[in-house]
Amino acid sequence: MPGTFEPLPGGGAAVALDDVEISIIRSLAVQMMELIGPGPAEDASADPLADLFAEGPSEPPSDPVLRRLFPDAYGDPDGTPGAKEAEEQKAHSAEFRRYTENDLRAGKRDNALAVIRSLDALSPVGEGGAVLELSPDDSRKWLGALNDLRLAIGARLEISDEDDGDLLFHLPDQDPRKPMVMAYLWLGGLQETLVTTLMP
């Protein structure tokens, strides 16, 4: 079980983590929450209907990590659109973003917070480690958070496709990007085994 998620009887997943791994994941989740930004202010409306229709930003984020986490909904995957098509796509993306980004941010914030809380609740087992046991619901939150963390690190490393990841895998040890690449690959392994546990 070390370093890989395994299914639990009745649903959910478990993984053995050492103190360093716990510290890394927790630190990354905290950074993710800081990057995404705070939730609604304390003086925000208590009316859930008003919150449902609250408008979010219409412009894409300037930070490349946030652009990867909250991409435009409309675009031409097959090439560069003409000027008219580009303007239409921009307008549609802005409208979509206004009504969805707040919810997307809240979901990503909730996932990161679930990771932090579950790690904080761990009881040490044996020499410098613990076994994390997740319910099916927490497993899905962890899966979302692991995906977001990999997207964020991938954006910082400027990984745009699988070939970029393969090249980074062979970086020399003295390359300053190496620790971030190792975290990216390790989180990918965790994510893959967690997906396997959630498959019917």
- Print burial letters for 10-20: b (CB count within 10 Å at least 16), e (below 16): eebbbbbbeee
- Boundaries of domain holding 52: 6-198
Give the relative orientation of helices 83-120 and 19-36 as an angle to the nearest 10 degrees.
140
Report if residue 1 sits inside a domain. no
The pLDDT value given to residue 1: 42
> Do 12 and 139 form a contact (C-beta atoms < 8 A)?
yes
Amino acid 177 reads: R
Report if residue 109 sits inside a domain. yes
pLDDT by 10s per residue, the chain, length 200: 457 999 999 889 999 999 999 999 999 999 999 999 876 554 455 665 555 556 666 677 888 898 889 888 776 555 566 677 767 776 777 777 777 788 889 999 999 999 999 999 998 766 778 999 999 999 999 999 999 999 999 999 888 776 666 677 788 888 888 889 889 989 999 999 999 998 87
Rounded CA-CA distance 35/113 in Å is 13
The total domain count for the chain is 1
The pLDDT value given to residue 166: 67
The pLDDT value given to residue 78: 53
Report if residue 117 sits inside a domain. yes
Return the half-sphere exposure (C-beta side, CA atoms, 13 A cut-off) of residue 85: 9
Report if residue 21 sits inside a domain. yes
129 three-state secondary structure? strand
Q: Two tokens at 131?
A: 């076994």
Q: What secondary structure does DSSP assign to 9-29, as a single string?
A: TTS-EEEEEEHHHHHHHHHHH
> Do 183 and 153 form a contact (C-beta atoms < 8 A)?
yes
For residue 63, give every residue at least 6 positions away whose Cβ sits within 8 Å of its Cβ, in sequence order, or none.
35
Q: Tell me: the pLDDT tens digits for 42-69? A: 445 566 555 555 666 667 788 889 888 9
